[in-house]
Structure 1
Amino acid sequence: MRAGLPERYRAIVDLGAGCGLRQGEIFGLAVNNISDLGWLYVCRQVKKVHGTLVFAPPKRGKLRDVPLDPEV
C-alpha cells in the first residue's frame, strides 16, 4: 500500500502502522510535534464539524506522547 502512494504521502502509512496514530491525528501532526529525542506529541487532530474540516483537541481531549521508532 505504501509503495502505491505518491512519495509525499507515504509517511501517513508509517505513522499509522508504526506509531499507532489515528487518521485525524496524522493529518493534524505538525513538524514541531516531532522531537529530536524520538517522541511524537499528539496535541491536535483534524476532524469534520458540520461538514467543515477543523483542528480540534485529540479524542476525549487527551494529549499524549508517542514513542517514535527510529525506523519510522
Structure 2
Amino acid sequence: MNLSLAVALVISVFLNIFQLAQLKSNNRKNVKWEENTKSPLNPFTAILWTYFAIIILFMLAALVTVIIQLNE
C-alpha cells in the first residue's frame, strides 16, 4: 500500500509540474498580448500559480513522508 502511494505521489507531482509548465507557456503568450494591447491581464493566473505551487509543495512533503516511512 505504501509503495503504491509513493508511486501515485511521484506521478501526481510530475503531472502538476507539467501543468505548471503549460501555464507558464500560456502566460508568455499573455505577456506578449499585454505588451501589444497595454491592457491588464486577468488576476486568475496568479491564483493558479499559487494553487500549483502549494499543491506541489504539499505533494513533495507527502512524498518525503512516505519515503521515510518505507525506510523504517
Q: Which has the higher contact order (CA 8 A, sep 6+)?
A: 2
**TM-score, normalising length from structure 2?**
0.23
**TM-score, normalising length from structure 1?**
0.23
Q: Which has the higher strand share?
A: 1
Q: Which has the higher helix share?
A: 2
Q: Which has the larger radius of gyration?
A: 2
